Amino acid sequence: MSLLVVGSVAFDNVETPKGKVEDALGGSALYFSASSSMFTDVRLVAVVGDDFPDEPVNFLKGRGVDLSGLHQVEGKTFRWEGRYGADLNEAETLATHLNVFGDFKPVLSEEYRKSEYVFLANIDPCLQRDVLDQVESPKFVALDTMNFWIDSKLDSLKETLKRIDMLVINDGEARSLGGDNNVVRAARNILKMGPRFLVIKRGEYGALLFDGEEFAFAPAFPLEEVFDPTGAGDTFAGGMMGYIANKDSVSPEILRQAMVMGCTMASFDVEDFSFNAMRNLTHPQINGRLNAFRNLIHCTDFASPGKA
């Protein structure tokens, strides 16, 4: 099934304890597409400047991503500069240069408007609604956001939340948006704002899915070498939405599998800078890690034994 992603394409300057990269390819839409295109046909909407190279465009085309929605305009591409300390769970943003992204107004082609699955990456909630206005009859819409919008445009964000099916945010964002430090109560509060499903990303601790009645949990894969967590959240969302679009289902079973797939894809992403780990990834490699995931949480059924 067709999967539309609207978000950023960027150059990143990133420093982690493992090293430093400049002008690395990044942005939510790139990470999301590189991941989700393993599973389904992806349509990308974003804007880049005239400094953006052909190589990543050709790579994604080779993966079957429709890039007719990637608009190239005069000026410089969006740039993010960030640093990770010993705690790789959170980046310190050193600089954000919106550049051509500052005037981003997503316009969808006739074909894009017929998309069935939609992922609205972290952009202004008002733009996210603009996109939704253009999609004719989406089957399932997922959305990411960040503390910046929760703090500065809460009312606009709440308008958008009424129109989506699944919100995908991190732990701190969930506590902030839900107005409660307890993640269960925060999750309940968030679902009252509109979405049917909430996914909470917890970095190296995994992810939680809440449908208003019960929680499902998937761990992060314990990795010996984490090079760069940049894009892990969008790679996770790409794995999850790509799997959902592939299966054309949001049954409880498919959603749980999709979350495990999201964690799996994210576990590859962080093993290299930029989305390099996605470039040569194969389905047998993905299956290998899915097996390792299964083993990680495997526990045979048992009951409380009482005293022997």
Look at the alpha carbons of 54, 59, 60, 66 in this order and tell me if their dihedral is positive or negative. Answer: positive
Q: Can you give the binding site for a second copy, defined by CB under 8 A?
A: 1, 17, 38-41, 64, 86-88, 181-185, 188, 202, 204-206, 208, 214-219, 222-226, 243, 246-248, 253, 256-257, 260-261, 283, 286-287, 290, 294-308
Sort residue 60 into left (φ over 0), alpha (ψ -120 to 50) or beta.
alpha
- Which one, 105 or 298, has the nearer CB to a second copy? 298
- Which one, 82 or 262, has the nearer CB to a second copy? 262
Contact status, residue 44 vs residue 66, Cβ threshold 8 Å: yes
Contact status, residue 160 vs residue 129, Cβ threshold 8 Å: yes
Task: State the DSSP code for 77.
Answer: P
d(CA 164, CA 294): 31
d(CA 216, CA 85): 30
- Which one, 29 or 208, has the nearer CB to a second copy? 208
Alpha-carbon dihedral of residues 149, 9, 69, 259, nearest 10 degrees?
A: -70
d(CA 83, CA 12): 10
Query: Rounded to the nearest whole angstrom, what is the least distance from the CB of residue 286 to a second copy in the complex?
Result: 4
Contact status, residue 167 vs residue 143, Cβ threshold 8 Å: yes
- Which one, 14 or 258, has the nearer CB to a second copy? 258
Query: Rounded to the nearest whole angstrom, what is the least distance from the CB of residue 157 to a second copy in the complex?
Result: 23
Sort residue 168 into left (φ over 0), alpha (ψ -120 to 50) or beta.
beta
d(CA 262, CA 249): 16
- Which one, 40 or 145, has the nearer CB to a second copy? 40
Query: Rounded to the nearest whole angstrom, what is the least distance from the CB of residue 189 to a second copy in the complex?
Result: 12
- Which one, 52 or 268, has the nearer CB to a second copy? 268
Query: Rounded to the nearest whole angstrom, what is the least distance from the CB of residue 185 to a second copy in the complex?
Result: 6
- Which one, 84 or 104, has the nearer CB to a second copy? 84
